[in-house]
Amino acid sequence: MPDSVIWRKFKDGDEGAFVFIYRTYVNDLFQIGIQLSRDEALVKDCIQEFFIEIRNRIFNLSDTDNIRLYLIKSFRRKVIKYIKKKKRFLGQDQIKEAFFVELAIDENIINAQFNKEQLTKLNKALSQLKVKDREIIYYYFYENFSYDKIAKILDYTHVSSARRSVYKVLSRLRKMMIYAITILLWLIAIQSH
């Protein structure tokens, strides 16, 4: 059944549609929430409140043909607002743990292109990115979201803004990797003399 039909049934009060939506997307929302706050209890509370709110505001919800995207975008705003309310939110760039992106060695793409040392350097470079940049990397590589979906989640007015953001982050990562390799080669040269 298409998302638009399921969503319409939910908005019409169909309990089965609500249960389906909850069961289908609760884990996705938890993963997004845990990226914004490592506090599992806070994320679980937020998920509970989020589903209560959408159920209570059922008549005010807009239509969608992509339930997952709609929920992620709304839930992301909810978590940020919830964290601010709990006075644990210091600002997007001050949360060091938010959107922790680390690539695993067993990833097929990684195995084909990087050895363990390069992977370590890449993970270090990822950890040095700003939270917003890690969030973009997370959505683009881990969630496989299109530029259009990233633009919608991050409230960009144009898809081209999301595309530029992804390119800028990748360019920044590339520069960080080149810098790390250059430093390593320099250290090796000093030690060999």
* 116-145 per-position pLDDT tens digit: 666 677 777 777 778 888 888 888 887 888
Instruction: Give the model confidence (pLDDT) of 85-117 as tens digits.
Output: 775 444 444 444 555 555 454 445 544 444 566
Question: Is the whole-model pTM more than 0.95?
Answer: no
The top-level CATH class assigned to 3-91 is mainly alpha
**Quick check: do 3-91 and 103-192 share a fold?**
no
CATH level 3 topology of 103-192: Arc Repressor Mutant, subunit A (1.10.10)
Q: How far is CA 112 from CA 93, 138, 169, 177, in A?
A: 33, 20, 22, 17
Task: Output the furthest CA–CA distance in the chain (Å, rounded).
Answer: 76
The structure tokens listed for 21 are 């939506």
What residue spans define the domains of the chain? Answer: 3-91, 103-192
| Backbone dihedral angles phi then psi of residue 15, each to the nearest 5 degrees | -60, -40
